[in-house]
Amino acid sequence: MMPPICCICDEDFEPGKGGLIYFVEDEEDKIANQRLRQPGFVGHPPNAFWFCAKHYTKAKKISHLTKHEAFSILKQK
């Protein structure tokens, strides 16, 4: 797993002050996640991202999207 650092603002935050959000898998994510479930494979799911408290709520509201769709919204000012 990746450490809890916000993928939007790079804030290194403490547990409970943000969280991990899983977006809907796209086809590439499905393949990668299937590999990660195999014995002997480890890694961070490609559709899971850490968000600080400032960005968590907005990201959670759009977790029904793929990561590409969500990040195009989240990175808008």
**If you search the block for the tokens 């799911």, which residue do you land on?**
45
Write down the pTM of the prediction: 0.88
Domain residue ranges of the chain, discontinuous segments joined by +:
6-37+46-77
Q: Please report, to the nearest 10 degrees, the dihedral formed by the alpha carbons of residues 37, 39, 40, 43 taken in order.
A: 10
pLDDT one-digit tens code per residue, 25-55: 999 999 999 999 999 998 999 999 999 999 9
Confidence of residue 63 (pLDDT cuts 50, 70, 90): very high
User: What pLDDT was estimated at residue 75?
Assistant: 87
Task: Determine the average pLDDT of the residues in 15-28.
Answer: 94
